[in-house]
Structure 1
Amino acid sequence: MKLLSFIIILSCFSAIPVQKNKSFSLFNGKDLSGWHADVPALDDDPHGKKPFVVRDGMLVSLGTPGGHLITDKSYSNYTLEVEYRFTNVPGNCGVLVHASTPRYLYAMFPKSMEIQMMHENAGDFWCIGEDITVTDMESRRGPKENWGTVDGKSRRIINLTDNAESPLGEWNSMVIECRASSIKVWVNDILVNEGTACTTTQGQIALQAEGSEVEFKKIMLTPLQ
């Protein structure tokens, strides 16, 4: 009788359709549900300025104080599409994938792989406690003996082209594909970086506050098969 009941229950579960490649937004357009902020400056002043806000249906990184807005959940094997623009003076920002240990570097950056959004450098990889391999590694990262993932080492891997960004004030689309240990990045449909043998394959997703105001109107995740 117990075996029969187990079979019936199992058959019910197997009948539930599994939706693969179903896209969903990480931002609901109303509040920061599903995210939490890690902003060191707020440790001693919890009522201070918050660098991440919702404005006119968009998620906005005000740039200061510095910190990160991090998803509550971890993800692996997905495509992330982000639409963003600098609102005033262009500057620095980034999307971090496979984020884990908080404040791993400079008591600020979580252990992760950063996909650079800095104006005229969109698509660079920055290694933050994790590493990745690209083609033409020495020409894009410098001498091999200097490579590393901590302070003082060559953590930046230059992208394939700096001509993919839209004119200032216009929207950019950045697509990041994380498939197993590989990461690919497109900016406005142009492949700007590609790496393999990443030292991690899963983690949280984070947006930076790093000096410049940036608006995000789309943060869409699509699971990969």
Structure 2
Amino acid sequence: MKKSLTILALFCFPFLSFSQDVDPKEWKQLFNGKNLDGWHPKIRNHALDDNFGKTFRVADGLMQVRYDAYSSFDEMFGHIFYKDKYSYYRIATEYRFVGDQATNGPGWATRNSGIMIHCQAPETMGKDQDFPISIEVQLLGGLSNGKPRTTCNLCTPGTNVFYQDKLDKRHCINSTSKTYDGEQWVRAEVLVLGDSLIQHFVNGEKVLEYTKTQTGGGNVSGHDPSLMVEGKSLAEGYISLQSESHPVDFRKVELLNLCGCTDPKASNYKSYYVKSDNTTCEYKKKRKKKA
């Protein structure tokens, strides 16, 4: 079944990589542009929902990541989790890097953030855990130095993937994207099909693809070891956005669920669903004829 879904995706999903191919009303806006309702921050060395220094905030309709309350970053990596978990979906955000990096932020984290998918539940993170066990869609801004710096790369905190049909245990794999310098807005989109196929897109162009997401490997500290089962399939999880020491704005975070009712007779049937969950089907009741 997984193999058939992968084949289906390879042939049928190029059109799903572009948001204009599905009615925009079908997308669920995870960020409402007004507040952080539905989101839960987890900052290293702080408890879940302790949004230290208002690291994650809303201003001018944007979800902002800021560090004005930090005297020093001190590796207080942060993540803000959406309340629901998903397995088959498309997630998209429009982001830009702004301003200067927080004091004592690591050099590699300059103009660096990410979309974390298939995350462990936020309440299972250790207080001093640095990154959730997850698949990271790494968002990078160019350094305006004339050197290429791709975005929508793959990084694997506590996970591994198959890349080009082979188990690849590198922590990060670069995409084929262009470099985006300055404070320009960039649209990052990810197609997620459980553990069978994940594709990254930048401004509508596919830049990376891999399969067979699973737990294992390293690059996470402070976690519960029982959650790190080597080679265990990772087919669902939560979504989070990163705080890695550089200010970043998100003006849109939206999701198209690809799992739902696949019975054409149901009122909530969607032709773009690729994973059936017919327990969600809704049917219009027939009116009884009057005697």
Over residues 138-161 of structure 1, what are the superposed CA-to-partner deviations in whole Å (9 max), with x where a residue is unaligned? 9xx6xxxxx2xxxxxx311222x2
TM-superposed CA distance for 1:196, in Å, is 0.9
Counterparts in 2 of 1:145-224, with a 5 A limit? 147=169, 154-159=170-175, 161-163=176-178, 165-181=179-195, 182-199=197-214, 200-224=234-258
In 2, the alpha carbon distance for the partners of 1:134 and 1:84 equals 26
Residue 67 of structure 1 pairs with residue 78 of structure 2: yes
Unaligned runs of at least 5 residues, structure 2: 1-24, 68-72, 101-109, 142-148, 215-233, 259-272, 274-291
Q: Which residue of 1 aligns with 2:55?
A: 51
In 1, the alpha carbon distance for the partners of 2:65 and 2:236 equals 24
Opposite residue 126 of structure 1, the aligned amino acid is C
In 2, the alpha carbon distance for the partners of 1:116 and 1:69 equals 15
Identity of matched residues, %: 28
Over residues 137-194 of structure 1, what are the superposed CA-to-partner deviations in whole Å (9 max), with x where a residue is unaligned? 69xx6xxxxx2xxxxxx311222x241x444111000011101321100111221111
Q: 1:99 aligns with which of 111, 119, 140?
A: 119
Higher relative contact order (CA 8 A, sep 6+): 1
TM-superposed CA distance for 1:72, in Å, is 1.3
TM-superposed CA distance for 1:47, in Å, is 8.0
Aligned length: 188
Which 4+ residue blocks in structure 1 deviate beyond 6 angstroms? none
Opposite residue 155 of structure 1, the aligned amino acid is H
Q: Is this contact kept in 2: 1:113–1:130, CA < 8 A?
A: yes
Q: Is this contact kept in 2: 1:51–1:66, CA < 8 A?
A: no
Counterparts in 2 of 1:23-62, with a 5 A limit? 23-43=27-47, 48-62=52-66
Opposite residue 220 of structure 1, the aligned amino acid is E
Q: Secondary structure at the match of 1:49?
A: helix
TM-score by length of 2: 0.59
Q: Secondary structure at the match of 1:206?
A: strand
In 2, the alpha carbon distance for the partners of 1:135 and 1:32 equals 38
CA RMSD, Structure 1 to Structure 2 (Å): 2.4
Unaligned runs of at least 5 residues, structure 1: 1-20, 142-146, 148-153
